[in-house]
A = this chain, B = another copy of it.
Amino acid sequence: MSEPLLQIGDVADAVGLSLRTVRYYEQMGLLQPERRSEGGFRLYSQVQVDRLRLIKRMKPLGFHVEEMRQLLVARDTLRDTGATAAARKAARATLGEFAASCEDRVRDLEQKLAYAREFAGQLQDEAHSAP
């Protein structure tokens, strides 16, 4: 009773990304399908769906795809029970740097949200006032 494999459209729907984006992420090395069908269709399992969900939560922080790739690689290393101690140490350091960077970016996002609300309110006023 192995897990049923999903086609790219199912995955895209489940995660909320376009087919194009999923293929693009694959091309950039962020994730690979579990396997391909005989005819060449990409087939995914839940692992990849989760990975895409993670990527989607990462995106608002404004990381470039290349940065996301590095982060995912470090995370993979930490989860790989066969990784050497040195590799794990380096990976943990990488994650630490990203975590610090994340806090900055969250503050940026908060600032932008404040801007956005300010603007939205201002626009409401202008649209309804009668000059």
Does A90 belong to the interface (CB within 8 Å)?
no
Q: How large is the interface on A (under 10, 10 to 19, 20 to 34, 35 or more residues)?
A: 35 or more
Which of B57, B99, B115, B120 lies in contact with A115, CB distance below 8 A? B57
Contacts of A58 in B (CB 8 A): 119
B123, A99: Cβ atoms closer than 8 Å: yes
Chain A 6-19: CB-based contact to B (< 8 A → 1; otherwise 0):
00000000000000
A119, B61: Cβ atoms closer than 8 Å: yes
A78 to B125, CA, bound (A): 13
Contacts of A123 in B (CB 8 A): 71, 95, 98-99, 102
Does A86 belong to the interface (CB within 8 Å)?
no
Contacts of A102 in B (CB 8 A): 116, 119-120, 123-124
